[in-house]
Structures are given as structure tokens and as C-alpha cells.
Amino acid sequence: MKHFILCALTAVSVLIPAIQVSGQDYIVSSGNLSLAVSAPEGGRLEFLYFGPAAGPEDIDMLRESGALYGKSAYPEFGVDNVTGVKALAVKHRDGNLTTDLVVEDVLQDSKPEYDLLKVRLKDRYYDFHVSVFYKGWKNSDVIETWTEFENLEKKPVTLIRFDSGCLYMRRGDVWVSHFSGNWADEARLTEEPLNPGMLVIKNMDGSRNAHFSHAEIMFSLDGKPQENHGRTIGAALCWSGNYELRVSTHDNVNHLFTAGISPDMSQYTIDSGKRFTTPPLALSYSDEGLGGVSRNFHRWARNGMIHNGWGTRDILLNSWEGVYFNVTEPGMKQMMEDIASMGGELFVMDDGWFGEKYPRNNDRTSLGDWKADPAKLPDGLESLTDAASENGIKFGIWVEPESVSRISELFEKHPDWALQVKNRDLIFGRGGTQLLLDLCNPEVRDYAFNVIDTLLVRYPGIAYIKWDANVSLWNYGSTWLPDDRQSHIYIDYHRGLESLIKRIREAHPDVVIQSCGGGGGRANYGVMPGYDEFWVSDNTDALQRIFIQWGTSYFYPSNAMAQHVSADRNHQTGRVLPLKFRFDVAMTGRLGMEIQPSDMSAADRKFAAEAISGYKEIRSLVQTGNLYRLVSPYEGKGVCSLSYIDDSRDNAVLFAYKLEHFRNQTVPMFRMCGLDPEKVYRFRELTVPDGESPSSLDGKAISGRILMETGIAIPLETEYASRVYVLTAE
């Protein structure tokens, strides 16, 4: 049996066994880290180790030192009930709620890009199989784990809890860093020590999952989280729907971390002969602190978990905060001219451009009617794509393909396509009319595919799509799913979304697509393989953005983070900030503007053009370089600083901001990180406004050693002062 399966797996690839330590221990490695399990045939699958790269001898010595865990690698309900925390609970065909798994066989597969270990488990009595996968990427320091269930029982079985995977950590002084928030205040960092009990991070929005918390967490194993040192583990669940991350501290020895799709209201039936696969849980480790783990995730993301991960992104103007729903043809054309004149490369027409019978003049109507409003755009979309190319820029457009307004032609034609609950009134979202379409239904997915495909085929000048999602999954009922499968909605919706994105990507590999979830609600690795970037937040206030972007950067690379310069006074907070500060903050990611250029003074437009030109010089360093966060805004020092450094460590860009200003305030020296101590770096200041002199650091040459050991005094003399320096090794 074992031999047969090995052959089946290797028929399509070369078989190079993952390192086998002994007859029963297996190590999966990824770059600089390893994960080891014990999988004796007929015995239990046990988690042994996760940390720095370890070979067979290391595992033997770790065993001698008592450092191996030897705990169930995928604890199932029904056997060992010590902590009560389980990754799996299943109801079998006869109503039995327990499962008792033993190792059936182990399969190893090796490709140039990864090593894969598949441990197949089987219930001792029932014909129910569970495969636990570990995939070690060779070009990234990330190991993914996920699980597949195969029901060979004669009747359906029901999954009650079905985590993607789990991990043990030795108790000590372990801290967690995780994210909470809200719309317009996403990714707010919380750091806390792990105490006895259970920490649960959970999302139940149904549609977008990153507004209130993130499906990501870091563990600092050596006490309070440190940015650039200390052993640190990071975990990201790659799933765009409801999730549950749990850290259980119920014994004196270990913390148990589990992560997966939230099982709440999501019992999932697997028919006889069918399988169910969980989303991957990505794990990383670094002894370079939070920053080391961030850089590992950024590299992994660029290597395939975001679309065109190593590509740089265009500088754009988005129409939303400039005109809101007041889209007009001359207005759009004017904005295109304006952004082109400031050196921008792309114009994105946001909401408000569509609807014929029901023109989209506010958020109450028209979602679903994706045809240009003839009153607003009498010459159609083509005249806009033409105008973009006349201005030498690209054109992008906003759509929300998963939604429908009650007041729309689509809803009149297909009311059954919206998610809706039998015998209950509809619950409406944004505008009091918005509903979510039923992506469980393949016909609806075809419709949504056609929305985007038709736009892109009919108007080849569209180079960029902003794909928004502004409503939660509140109507928990599908007209398409059978009565006894209604509890599949939360999951099948996102499976439908994944397949939709994949199909669009296959048809249109080159179009740039932004994932937007009413601000930062769709920042997650479940969907990012299909998207080039995401909108970080609807809050464009540069001061609050510093905090939002800081948190978001823990797991996401800068070229995926869309960051826009907006109006003064800010529309979300009412704050007034210098244009230089607004640019210097937006420039740490994918730079854009979201403003009415015709409201800007000539001096501001000139500054914007210079800042854009400066950004072009550092774009590839910012967007694809290695992030070193230096001074956290959360530390309350009144300043913040971060930097990007290229692989050669010859080029760096340093950003510093003053967040609050007091007389005789103590401002720390800024110590850099990640430079070459032996090199000497020449400073050049960017974004210096006309009439102001560069700071005293401009033109200075300072060694990497001094920059990292002693640090530099960055002149930040006024409220909301900011500095951007390019550092070049001599």
C-alpha cells in the first residue's frame, strides 16, 4: 500500500525523500528553518520541533536535551483530553463524535521549489482519513501546514472543528503581537504576555476578515517583543473568510497554538467518497525579532503569495476622495491631465461611474449594473481610456462584483442571487440597500467573472481594477445550497471567491488588481495570490496611517500596501498635516494620491511633482527592498522611523517622523539595522520643500557601524516634521 502511494505521488515529480531522521522522525526544512514530526506507522503523529534549521543529529540531541515536544501534531477530539483543546472534531456516520487517528503512511515529495511531507492518518475503526501536510519552501523561510479529510465511510460525515494546523511553544516569557481595529483603524498592534487560559483571535464578518483583527500573529519567545532581535515565530492563516486563532495555555509546560477556519455556524458535511482541504497556515521563525519574521513573510509573499510579487507598482491618482460620486467626463479627464502633469502613471476612476436606469449618485443604488452612466460619461469608457493614453498614463476602474443594491437592474432580474434567509427579512448593509451575492452558486460566479472579463475585453485600455467589497455576510441563507447544507455558506462563499479570482487571473494575468474591503478588510493571504496590492485603510490621515501601516507591515510587503496622499484637512479625522509629511508617510508603500488636484495650490502641485520624482528614485528599494522597522510609533516616543535596504546593503532609504511635539522633548538617537558595518554611507535628503534647506545630515558620510551602534540624531524640530534620506555606500 505504502509503495503504491509513493509511486502515485512520484509519477509526476522526482522523489527525493525529505530528511528522515530515523524510522519514524521526519524533518521538513525551508531555507533556514525546520519542522520535525514523529510518524510511526500504526502510532500517533507527534509534533517534535519547529525552529532554526535542524538536521537528524540535531533532532537526536534535542531529544537528549528534553527540548522535543512529543505532543499530538493534530489533536483530535475523542482521545487524549488533557487540555481539551482540539484541532479536529468529527461526527461519523453513526453519530459517534470521537475520532482516534493513527499513522497510515508517510509520503515525501520534492520539487525544485519545495519539500512536501504528507502524513496520512486513519481512524482506528472508521474509514475516515486525515492527511496532515507540511510544505517547506526552499526560497523562503516559511513552512506551510494544512490538512485534508477524506471520507470513505458509507455515509456523509460532518466536520465540527477542522483547524489547518497547530504548533507548540515552550512556556517561559512568551509574548504575542496581534492586531485589532475597526473600519478606518485597521491593524492596530497589541502586544501582551501569554498568561494561563485561552487567547482567541476571531473573525465572523463572513465577507471581509481584516477590519477588526488579522488572521496573523507573532510570538516573541524571549520576553517583550523586540524589533530586531529575539527568537520570534510568525503565523498567518491563508483564508479570506471567518477564522479562529487560539493560543491555549493550560499546562505548565507548553502553549498550544491552533488556527483554522472558524467552526462557528460552519459545520461541514463531507459526502461519502469526497474530500475537504483546509486553507494553509504559514509558519515562520527568526532570531532577528519581529523584523526578521516580517522579512521572511515578505519574501514568501513576493515569491508567490501576492500576484507579481517582485514587480513594482505605478504611482496613481484615485478619484474617490477628490470627487466621491460626482464623476463626470470632463472631471475625470481633468484629473488625468493633472496626475500626468505631476509625474503620475495611472488614474483610477473610483465609485460613481455606472448605472443607467439607476445612476450611482450615492451608495444606495446601482451595484450590479456595471455599465457606464450615459449622463455622466456620454462618450463611454473608451473616451476615458483614450484620454489616459493621450496623457501617457494608464487607466483603472472601481468595481464591486460580489455585491448588489436592492435598487438595481440586477436585483430586479435576479433577486434570488443575493444571499437571503428563508422566512426572514433581508438585512441590508451600506446605503441601507446593499446585499452580498451568493458566490456559492456557480451561476453567480459566472456573472461576477463576466463583470470583470467584459470590462477588460471590451476596453483593453483598462490596466487596473480596484475590486471592492463593502458589505458583511449578514443574510445567512443561500437559495442555491440545499437545506441540509446551509451551514456551508461561510466556507463555500470563500471557496467561490477563490475560484473566481483564479479564473480572472488565468484570463487576465497582466491586469493589476487591488483588493479592497471597504478599506483594509481584505488584507489577507487567502486572496492575495490573485491580487497585486490591497487598500490598507479608508483612513488616509497620515498620522493615523503611520500606526495602521506599521501593523500591516508585520506580514505584508510594501509593494502590496496601497498608500495615498489625501486632502488637507483630512476627510476622516479633520486633521491638517503638512503636504511633505503626507507624502513622506505614503511613500513607504505603493504611493498614490487621492485628492482633487485642482484644489491644490501651485506650490503644492510643484512639491507633489518633486516628491513623485523623488519616489521614482527609491521606488524599487521601497517596494522590493528589505524592511527594517526602527522606532515604533506604538512605543510612545513621539517619533517613528523605518528603512528599506537592498540585498547588497549598498542602498538604503530612511524615513523618520515626528508624531508629537513638546518643548525640550527627549528624542532618541535613531539606530539603524541591517546595514553593512564595514561600509560608509553617504546621506542625501529627498522631498525638501522649495525655500527650505536640507537638514544637517544631507551630504554626510557615516559608517554602517556607527549608524547601527550609536545611531544618528535626525533633526525633527517641528510638529509633524519628517525626513527621507537616501543612503548610498561609497
CA dihedral 227→229→231→236, nearest 10 degrees, is 30
Of residues 377 and 724, the one with the C-beta less far from ligand GLA:
377
- Shortest gap between Cβ of 366 and ligand GLA (angstroms)? 11
Site string for ligand GLA, 509-538 (x = CB under 6 A): -------x-xx---------------x--x
- Shortest gap between Cβ of 400 and ligand GLA (angstroms)? 8
Beta bridge partners of residue 283, listed in sequence order: 143, 235
The closest of 574, 442, 590 to 514, measured between CA atoms, is: 590
Distance CA 455, CA 395 (A): 12
Of residues 59 and 367, the one with the C-beta less far from ligand GLA:
367
Closest residue by beta carbon to ligand GLA: 351
Contacting residue, 351, 402, 533, 584, with ligand GLA by CB under 6 A: 351
**Whose grid coordinates read 476622495?**
321
- Shortest gap between Cβ of 315 and ligand GLA (angstroms)? 17
Beta bridge partners of residue 215, listed in sequence order: none
Of residues 218 and 516, the one with the C-beta less far from ligand GLA:
516
Distance CA 663, CA 514 (A): 43
When asked if residue 99 is in the footprint of ligand GLA (CB under 6 A), the reply is no
- Shortest gap between Cβ of 183 and ligand GLA (angstroms)? 8
- Shortest gap between Cβ of 365 and ligand GLA (angstroms)? 12
Count Cβ atoms below 10 Å from residue 13 Cβ, excluding itself. 12
Count Cβ atoms below 10 Å from residue 725 Cβ, excluding itself. 23
Of residues 130 and 367, the one with the C-beta less far from ligand GLA:
367
In the DSSP assignment, the letter for residue 45 is -
Angle at 15 between CA 9 and CA 18, to 5 degrees: 105
When asked if residue 186 is in the footprint of ligand GLA (CB under 6 A), the reply is no
- Shortest gap between Cβ of 372 and ligand GLA (angstroms)? 16
CB hemisphere CA count around 554 (13 angstroms): 34
- Shortest gap between Cβ of 585 and ligand GLA (angstroms)? 17
Of residues 535 and 670, the one with the C-beta less far from ligand GLA:
535
Question: What is the distance, to the nearest Å, from the Cα of residue 259 to the centroid of all Cα atoms in its chain?
Answer: 16
- Shortest gap between Cβ of 319 and ligand GLA (angstroms)? 9
Of residues 436 and 716, the one with the C-beta less far from ligand GLA:
436
Specify burial of residue 118 (Cβ count, 10 A radius: 0-12, 13-18, 19+): middle
Q: Cell triple for residue 286?
A: 527568526
When asked if residue 470 is in the footprint of ligand GLA (CB under 6 A), the reply is yes
Report whether 477 contacts 489 (CB < 8 A). yes
Of residues 535 and 720, the one with the C-beta less far from ligand GLA:
535
Tell me which amino acid residue 195 is: N
Of residues 136 and 519, the one with the C-beta less far from ligand GLA:
519
In Å, the largest CA–CA distance within the chain is: 81
Of residues 320 and 447, the one with the C-beta less far from ligand GLA:
320
- Shortest gap between Cβ of 470 and ligand GLA (angstroms)? 5
Report whether 674 contacts 628 (CB < 8 A). yes
Pairing of strands 626-631, 639-645: antiparallel
Q: Return the residues of window 616-675 that contact ligand GLA according to CB under 6 A.
A: none
Of residues 280 and 592, the one with the C-beta less far from ligand GLA:
592
Compute how many residues bind ligand GLA; rule: CB under 6 A: 11
Contacting residue, 104, 288, 468, 492, with ligand GLA by CB under 6 A: 468
- Shortest gap between Cβ of 369 and ligand GLA (angstroms)? 15
3-state secondary structure 500-558: HHHHHHHHCCCCEEEECECCECCCCCCCHHHCCEEECCCCCCHHHHHHHHHHHCCCCCH
Q: Return the residues of window 300-339 that contact ligand GLA according to CB under 6 A.
A: 320
- What is the rounded radius of gyration, in angstroms, for the C-alpha atoms of the chain? 26
Q: Return the residues of window 383-412 that contact ligand GLA according to CB under 6 A.
A: 398
Residue ranges binding ligand GLA (CB under 6 A): 320, 350-351, 398, 468, 470, 516, 518-519, 535, 538
